[in-house]
C-alpha cells in the first residue's frame, strides 16, 4: 500500500456538515484485521442519506461513507483470509460506525468479510451491493412458504417498487426461482425492461395507492415490498392464505394502515427483511446463490459507472426518486 489513498470524508463541526474527497495517509485506517484494496462500491438510498447530512446514522466524525465494497486483500491478521483473496463487504454498518467503501482502501474486522463467489467478479458484486443482496434475501423469504413451512408452491408473486435497486433484482431472482412475477411500478415506460428481467405482468402503482380493503381478493402467494405505506397495506389484504410478505423498504411511508384480519383469517406472515445484522453464515449462503439467480448481462443495461467525484454530484437524485440507473462507483476512476 502506498502512503496515500483517495477517499470521500464526511465531517461535522457544530451545524456545519462537509463532504469532500481527500488524500489520506494509511494511518487514518486505524482499526480492523484486514486491509483491502477496493475495486468498486455502489450507491444505495442509505448512502445518499449519509452523504447528505449523516442521516442520523454516523455517530462519530470524520467518517468515510459507503455501506458496500468489493476488492482484494492486501494484508490480513487472520489465517482464513490471505493476501490476494477477493472479498465482498456489505452491511455490518461500514460507512456508518466504521469507515466504508467510498475509498481506495478499507480496513475492517474479519467478521465483516465474505469471500467473493468464484463465478462473479468484484464489479458484478457491486452491481448488486446491498440492494441486490436484500432482494435475494426477500426472494428466499417468500419461498419459505414451501421450503420451511411446507406449504403449497409459491406461484404468483407481487414485487413493488420494481424498477428500484431491490425491486429489479427481486423480479429477476423470483423469476429464476420459477415464480410468475407481477411488477408494480410508477415508471410504466420501463415495462420492456421489467419484462426482460422476468416480469410476467406490470401494474401501475396508482392501483395500489388507494385506501386498502380490510380483506381483498386473494391474488398473491407471496409479496416482496420495497415501499411500505398503502401499497404494502393493499398487498397484505390481497395475499392468499399462508402467503409471506417480505418487507424491506419504506419509500412510500413508515405508517402501515392494516388490521389483524388478514393475519388471523388467512394466516399470512409479514416477514421483515434486514440485510445488516444477519448472521455471516446466511450472508455467505445468499452470495453463493446469487450467480444462479442473476443474469448480469441484463442487469448491465441499468448500470451507470461513476467516479468518487461524480458520485458527489449525483447522489441527491436518488433521494428525489429521479435516478433511473443503478450507480456503480469505481473508486479508482
- CATH number, residue 223: 3.40.50.720
Q: Tell me which of 272, 287, 316 is where a domain ends.
A: 272
- pLDDT, one tens digit per residue, over 301-318 is 889 999 999 999 999 998
Domain boundary pick from 272, 289, 322: 272
> Residue 15 has what pLDDT?
87
For residue 228, list its beta bridge partners: 253
Angle at 224 between CA 327 and CA 271, to 5 degrees: 120
Do 103 and 134 lie in one domain? The reply is no
Instruction: Note whether residue 281 is domain-resident.
Output: no
Element (H, E) at 222: strand 220-225
Helix axes 280-293, 165-176, angle to 10 degrees: 70
Residues 84 and 157 in one domain: no
Whether 302 is in a domain gets the answer yes
Comparing 98-112, 146-160, 203-217, the range with the smallest average pLDDT is 146-160
| DSSP-based three-state secondary structure for 174 | helix
Q: Is residue 287 part of a domain?
A: no
What nine digits make up the cell of 325? Answer: 440507473
Rounded-to-integer distance, Cα 281 and Cα 285, Å: 6
140 and 251: one domain? Answer: yes
> Within this chain, do residues 137 and 256 fall inside the same structural domain, yes or no?
yes
pLDDT of residue 320: 85
Could you tell me if 160 and 218 lie in one domain?
A: yes
Same domain, 32 and 133: no
pTM of the predicted protein model: 0.92
Q: Report d(CA 134, CA 99) in Å as an integer.
A: 21
Q: Can you give the pLDDT at residue 2?
A: 60
Q: What is the pLDDT of residues 230-272, one digit of tens each?
A: 999 999 999 999 999 999 988 777 888 888 999 999 999 999 9
**In-domain check, residue 290:** no
Backbone angles phi, psi at 150, to 5 degrees: 55, 40
The confidence score (pLDDT) of residue 1 equals 47
Same domain, 148 and 229: yes
Query: Do 99 and 23 contact (CB within 8 A), yes or no?
Result: no
Pick from 18, 88, 146, 112: nearest CA to 288: 88
Q: Is 214 among the domain residues?
A: yes
> Does 123 fall in a domain?
no
Are 74 and 207 in a shared domain? no
Same domain, 178 and 304: no
| CATH number of 9's domain | 3.90.180.10
Q: Which three cell numbers stand for residue 73?
A: 486483500
User: Is the pLDDT reported for residue 111 higher than 70?
Assistant: yes
4 phi and psi angles, rounded to 5 deg = -125, 150
Residue 292 domain-assigned? no
Residue 82: Cβ-neighbour burial (10 angstroms; 0-12, 13-18, 19+): exposed
Tell me the HSE value of 100 on the side-chain side, using a 13 A CA sphere: 31
CA dihedral (159, 162, 167, 170) positive or negative: positive
Give, in degrees to the nearest 5, the angle at Cα 304 between 161 and 87: 90
Question: Phi then psi for 25, rounded to 5 degrees?
Answer: -90, 150
Same domain, 139 and 223: yes
Q: How many domains does one find in the chain?
A: 2
Nearest to 311 by CA among 61, 69, 24: 69
Whether the CB-CB separation of 225 and 245 falls below 8 Å is answered with yes
One domain, residues 37 and 134: no
User: Who's near 83: CB < 8 A, 6+ residues apart?
Assistant: 73, 74, 75, 76
Q: 304: cis peptide before it, omega within 30°?
A: no
**H or E element, residue 169:** helix 165-176
Q: Is residue 305 part of a domain?
A: yes
In this structure, the answer to whether residues 203 and 311 fall within a common structural domain is no
CB 257 within 8 A of CB 212: yes
Please give the residue range of the domain that contains residue 79: 4-116+298-330
Amino acid at each position: 500500500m502506498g502512503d496515500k489513498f483517495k477517499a470521500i470524508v464526511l465531517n461535522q463541526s457544530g451545524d456545519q456538515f462537509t463532504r469532500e474527497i481527500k488524500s489520506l495517509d494509511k494511518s487514518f485506517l486505524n482499526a480492523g484485521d484486514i486491509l483491502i484494496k477496493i475495486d468498486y462500491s455502489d450507491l444505495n438510498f442509505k448512502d445518499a442519506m449519509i452523504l447528505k447530512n449523516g442521516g442520523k446514522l454516523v455517530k462519530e466524525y470524520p467518517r468515510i461513507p459507503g455501506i458496500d465494497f468489493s476488492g482484494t486483500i492486501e494484508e490480513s491478521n487472520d489465517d482464513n483470509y490471505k493476501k490476494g483473496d477477493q472479498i465482498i463487504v456489505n452491511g455490518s454498518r461500514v460507512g456508518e460506525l466504521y469507515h466504508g467503501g467510498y475509498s481506495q482502501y478499507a480496513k475492517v474486522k474479519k467478521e465483516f468479510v465474505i469471500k467473493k463467489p468464484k463465478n462473479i467478479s468484484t464489479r458484478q458484486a457491486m452491481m448488486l451491493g446491498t440492494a441486490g443482496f436484500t432482494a435475494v434475501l426477500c426472494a428466499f423469504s417468500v419461498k419459505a412458504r414451501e421450503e420451511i413451512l411446507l406449504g403449497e408452491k409459491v406461484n404468483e408473486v407481487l414485487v413493488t417498487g420494481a424498477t428500484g435497486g431491490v425491486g429489479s433484482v427481486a423480479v429477476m431472482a423470483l423469476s429464476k426461482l420459477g415464480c410468475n412475477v407481477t411488477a408494480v411500478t410508477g415508471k410504466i415506460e420501463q415495462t420492456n425492461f421489467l419484462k426482460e428481467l422476468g416480469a410476467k405482468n406490470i401494474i401501475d402503482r396508482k392501483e395500489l395507492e388507494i385506501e386498502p380493503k380490510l380483506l381483498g381478493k386473494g391474488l398473491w402467494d407471496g409479496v416482496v415490498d420495497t415501499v411500505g405505506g398503502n401499497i404494502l397495506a393493499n398487498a397484505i389484504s390481497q395475499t392468499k392464505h399462508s402467503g409471506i410478505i417480505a418487507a424491506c423498504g419504506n419509500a412510500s411511508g413508515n405508517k402501515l394502515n392494516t388490521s389483524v384480519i388478514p393475519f388471523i383469517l388467512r394466516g399470512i406472515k409479514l416477514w421483515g427483511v434486514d440485510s445488516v445484522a444477519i448472521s455471516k453464515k446466511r450472508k455467505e449462503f445468499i452470495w453463493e446463490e446469487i450467480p444462479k439467480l442473476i443474469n448480469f448481462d441484463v442487469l448491465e443495461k441499468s448500470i451507470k459507472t461513476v467516479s468518487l467525484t461524480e458520485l458527489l454530484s449525483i447522489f441527491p437524485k436518488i433521494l428525489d426518486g429521479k435516478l433511473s440507473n443503478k450507480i456503480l462507483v469505481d473508486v479508482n476512476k
